[in-house]
Each structure stands twice: as C-alpha cells, then as structure tokens.
C-alpha cells in the first residue's frame, strides 16, 4: 500500500481504512510540520496544527472529491489553521540547520552558515503571513506559482505579487549576505 498515490489512499480512507490513513500521516506529517513551523513560529504549535489538520482529513475523507491534488487541499487546511491561530512570528530554531550542516565545512564556515540561516529565518518570520506562506511553499515545498495560488486561495498573478514583495523585502533586509556569498 506504500506505493499508492495520495488520491488512492484518500479513497481507501473514505471507506474507513486506518492503515491507509497511517501511511498518509507518515508521508505528510513532517513536511507539513516544517511548513507550519515557519507559519506559527513554535515547534509544538506546528505539530498541533498538523495533528488537527490530519484529523480533519480523516473526518472529512468521505466527502473529499479529487478535484484538486490531495497535497494542495491538505496544505490549504494547514495554512488556514495556522492563520486562524494569529500568532506573532517568532525567531526560528536553528536545530534543523544543525542537522543539515555540511561536515566538509570548517568551524568558521559552519558558524557563518548558521548565522546566515538565522538571519534568513528571522527575515522570513517577519514577513506578512501570506507573503511568508508564498515564500515557504515556493522554496521549501518547491511548488509552482499555480499550486501556491490554490493553497493561498488567490490567483496566479496574486501569488506573483506576494512573491515580488516578499523577495524585495528579503533582499533589502539580507542585502549582500545571501546574494554575494558562496553558494551552498
């Protein structure tokens, strides 16, 4: 069952298949929590949001129709739950950055990279909610502007406007830190 698509799993979940739901949870909980963490700021809050979103998926599965991809629908639920919390953005933890630290880097480069990631995380956390959502969905999830538009509930040109504003804000805040440094 592991190789089934999200849509096929949803069809089984609609029939009350708990094993299919378990697979869907394992497939999407971590990426969705990563997205939620950047929207609400805290790890515990993000996991609560994802847990609630997954329960909504289970409860509403019999009513779900495959008009859009499951991922788009699921991230829309997660985003709406994040926005409804109305939390102030907080500086993000760098635990994740430590996990992906390149072992080939020396201590000085490692420290520089951590500093840079911290500044980027703070700059993203300070963006308005919808701009932040567009940036995180684009860079973290690798979604196209059309997919982001479906999640943020706006048009493609609306997403482009959000991204233009967000990128200009980030560029002005981060300056040469990210645009002239070494590419990792």
Interface contacts to another protein, rule CB under 8 A: 14, 16, 18, 21-22, 25-26, 29-31, 33-34, 38, 43, 47, 50-51, 54-55, 58-63, 65-67, 95-97, 99-100, 116-117, 120-121, 124, 135-136, 138-140, 144-145, 160-161, 163-164, 167-168, 170-171, 174, 177-181, 183-184
- Report, in Å, the least distance between residue 74 CB and another protein: 13
CA distance 57 to 14: 10
- Report, in Å, the least distance between residue 151 CB and another protein: 16
Give the residue carrying structure tokens 């971590």: 30
- Report, in Å, the least distance between residue 184 CB and another protein: 5
Q: In the chain, how many H helices and how many E strands?
A: 10, 0
Burial of 163 (0-12, 13-18, 19+ CB in 10 A): middle
- Report, in Å, the least distance between residue 16 CB and another protein: 7
CA distance 54 to 138: 22
- Nearer to another protein (CB atom), residue 80 or residue 145: 145
CA distance 60 to 153: 20
């Amino acid at each position: 069952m592991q190789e089934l698509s999200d849509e096929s799993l949803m069809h089984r979940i609609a029939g009350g298949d708990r094993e299919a739901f378990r697979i869907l949870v394992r497939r999407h909980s971590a990426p969705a929590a990563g997205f939620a963490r950047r929207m609400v700021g805290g790890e515990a809050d993000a996991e609560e949001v994802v847990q609630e979103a997954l329960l909504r998926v289970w409860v509403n599965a019999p009513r779900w129709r495959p008009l859009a991809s499951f991922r788009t629908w699921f991230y829309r639920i997660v985003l709406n739950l994040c926005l409804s919390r109305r939390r102030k953005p907080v500086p993000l933890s760098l635990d994740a950055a430590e996990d992906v630290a390149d072992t080939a880097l020396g201590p000085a480069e490692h420290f520089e990279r951590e500093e840079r990631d911290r500044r980027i995380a703070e700059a993203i956390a300070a963006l308005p909610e919808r701009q932040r959502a567009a940036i995180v969905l684009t860079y973290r999830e690798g979604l196209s502007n059309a997919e982001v538009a479906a999640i943020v509930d706006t048009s493609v040109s609306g997403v482009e406007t959000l991204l233009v504003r967000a990128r200009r804000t980030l560029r002005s805040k981060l300056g040469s830190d990210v645009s002239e440094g070494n590419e990792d």
